[in-house]
Amino acid sequence: MDTIIAPGRIKYITGEKKEGCIFCADSLRDERLMLHKGKHCFVIMNKYPYTSGHLMVVPYRHIADIADASTEELMELMNLTGRAVDILRKAFNPEGFNVGMNLGKAAGAGVDEHMHMHVVPRWFGDTNFVTVLGEVRVIPEEIEKTRDLLKSFF
């Protein structure tokens, strides 16, 4: 049996779970993972990514549903999503992308009170036996290195 060591996860597992929105509260949002600040939305790396380069585009305004977003918020959300795809394509040369939102807990939203768009680069074989059988994700690069690379594109 192979052993996968992921020391970055221990802080999440054993750490204090603070109340509040991770996208709104300055004390909860990890500014080190912020890649771009727009007028209505920002781009941030997922702290616990599905694959290297997993980004999220998030409105500043605390809204749970896409139907509550303004036209300006939606326009910037989609423009930044397109920009994120373009940047990830240049930085990592993925073979595809998953782009989308999970609205509500039943749809799989981990943070259901604040809508956000996921941009996940994908490669053939990135979901292998480890994820399927072992329920473990293997991220091949330290998140700080990914951040530094992507920040240079923004």
Q: The tokens of 92 are what?
A: 């990592």
Q: Which residues pair with residue 119 across a beta bridge?
A: 55, 99
DSSP state of 71: H
> Which residues partner with 55 through β-bridges?
45, 119
Residue 34's DSSP bridge partners are 44
Phi, psi of 72 (to 5 degrees): -65, -40
Exactly one of 36, 54, 116, 118 is catalytic; name it. Answer: 116
- Which residues face 37 on adjacent strands? 42
62 carries an active-site annotation = no
Which residues are part of the catalytic machinery? 116
